[in-house]
């Protein structure tokens, strides 16, 4: 007999179908964990330490040898910047971000998903970043945008079979030549005069390789727009999860996805009543705290936050569903008065200091 089992923890709702054989479920969960762990370039020991379990236990979980508790899956998911639901999924259509990204929404997916409107038409995400929510929702028609042209070069590669295949080949090459010297050479490519003339594939491959090989998956540029994150001192670099890349490519091929590189206002100019817009901008800074926001050479300041709030109000008046994430600061609460504002707890997963990866308060803002 098939029946669903629900596991309730704070802000988590999980299910799985008991008609699936236990061993089949264990193998599926183990494969999902290993897939994301390796794509994040984490060793078993590193992930086990983060999740507070023994490495031997994690090894047994990944090999499908134990019936893992859902509370353990929750801990592992948090430290892989994904959701327990994703790890429990079976099948070949799962997608997750192809890079680690500051402000990534993997750990907040459940909280975002349960707040989505029940029905909407087109999907807009003007600050796509790693695309955690986008990949989870997998809309059939969407407009995605970001100011980071290097990041968008990867998304563009999924729209072309030729570019996608060349991207994988280039990433395999970068993995094969990985060393400290080659990391620095690849990092310094943006200092060369011909950098802008490189193909979209070359930009995309460099973007992913640096994200996987650098310190803690940071993307940071200086005032001149040059990438300046130090090496992660890794002996071996795995640039991608083949199943995930294949699933993303197949999804792009069967969907209508428009990829833009511009201002967030332009990115939603075609939004109409019944459409859904998710804003995940660079966050407002906490007072007296060092916040990482250097995604591009152009800073996102208070005036930009006000512009975004005014845009959200305009979209609201048009009948567009709006959801927005940000830090829980007095400034953000003030400029979004009149919207629904819910405080949620999140954990920084990309702070340069381990001690800085502590809990922070964020807000999820909606107009519905």
pLDDT of residue 32: 86
Report the distance separating Cα 138 and Cα 115, nearest Å: 16
Fill in the DSSP letter of residue 338.
Answer: T
Q: How far apart are CA 38 and CA 237, in angstroms?
A: 9
- Cα angle: 227, vertex 135, 127; to 5 degrees: 45
Distances (CA, A) of 311 to 205, 218, 322: 34, 29, 10
Say if CB 87 and CB 29 are below 8 A apart.
yes
Span 61-118, pLDDT tens digits: 999 999 888 899 999 988 887 888 778 876 556 899 999 887 667 668 889 999 999 9
Position 299 scores a pLDDT of 78
- Give Cβ neighbours of residue 365 (< 8 Å, ≥ 6 apart): 312, 322, 323, 324, 325, 326, 332, 336, 339, 340, 341, 342
Q: What does the pLDDT read at residue 283?
A: 95
Low-confidence ranges of the chain (pLDDT < 50): 1-20, 292-293, 352, 354-355
Report how far residue 140's alpha carbon sits from residue 252's, in angstroms, rounded to the nearest whole number. Answer: 9
pLDDT at residue number 21: 57
Residue found by looking up tokens 């997963």 in the block: 349
Element (H, E) at 317: helix 302-317
**Predicted pLDDT at 5:** 39
The pLDDT of residue 298 = 62
Domains and CATH numbers, the chain: 4-88 (1.10.260.40), 106-147+257-366 (3.40.50.150)
pLDDT at 22: 63
Instruction: Provide the greatest CA pair distance for the chain.
Output: 66
Q: Say which DSSP state 285 is in.
A: P
Contact 28, 92 (CB under 8 A): no
State residue 344 phi and psi, 5-degree precision: -130, 155
The pLDDT of residue 4 is 39
Contact 349, 358 (CB under 8 A): no
What tokens were used for 229? 């994150």
Share of the chain above pLDDT 90, in %: 69
Nearest to 277 by CA among 323, 244, 243, 209: 323
Cα 262 from Cα 298, distance rounded (Å):
12
Q: pTM for this one?
A: 0.78
């Amino acid at each position: 007999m098939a029946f669903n089992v629900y596991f309730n923890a704070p802000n988590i709702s999980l299910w799985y179908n008991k008609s699936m054989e236990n061993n089949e479920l264990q193998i599926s969960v183990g494969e999902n964990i290993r897939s994301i762990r390796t794509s994040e370039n984490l060793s078993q020991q590193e992930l086990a330490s983060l999740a507070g379990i023994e490495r031997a236990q994690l090894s047994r979980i990944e090999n499908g040898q134990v019936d893992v508790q859902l509370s353990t899956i929750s801990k592992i998911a948090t430290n892989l910047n994904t959701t327990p639901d994703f790890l429990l999924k079976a099948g070949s259509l799962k997608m997750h971000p192809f890079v680690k990204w500051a402000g990534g929404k993997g750990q907040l997916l459940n909280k975002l998903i349960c707040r989505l409107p029940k029905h909407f038409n087109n999907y807009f995400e003007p600050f796509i970043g790693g695309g955690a929510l986008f990949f989870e929702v997998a809309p059939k028609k969407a407009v995605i945008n970001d100011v980071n042209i290097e990041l968008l070069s990867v998304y563009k590669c999924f729209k072309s079979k030729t570019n996608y295949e060349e991207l994988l080949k280039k990433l395999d090459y970068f993995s094969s030549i990985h060393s400290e010297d080659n990391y620095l050479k690849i990092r310094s490519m943006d200092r060369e005069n011909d950098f802008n003339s490189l193909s979209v594939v070359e930009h995309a491959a460099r973007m992913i390789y640096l994200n996987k090989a650098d310190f803690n998956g940071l993307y940071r540029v200086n005032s001149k727009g040059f990438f300046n994150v130090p090496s992660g001192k890794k002996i071996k670099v795995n640039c991608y999860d083949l199943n995930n890349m294949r699933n993303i490519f197949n999804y792009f091929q069967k969907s209508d996805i428009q990829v833009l590189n511009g201002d967030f206002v332009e990115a939603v100019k075609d939004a109409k009543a019944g459409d859904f817009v998710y804003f995940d901008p660079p966050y407002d800074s906490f007072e007296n705290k060092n916040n990482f926001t250097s995604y591009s050479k152009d800073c996102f300041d208070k005036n930009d936050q006000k512009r975004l709030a005014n845009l959200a109000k305009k979209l609201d008046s048009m009948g567009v569903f709006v959801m927005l994430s940000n830090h829980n600061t007095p400034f953000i609460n003030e400029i979004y008065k009149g919207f629904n504002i819910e405080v949620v707890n999140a954990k920084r997963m990309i702070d340069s200091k381990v001690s800085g990866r502590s809990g922070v308060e964020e807000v999820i803002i909606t107009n519905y």
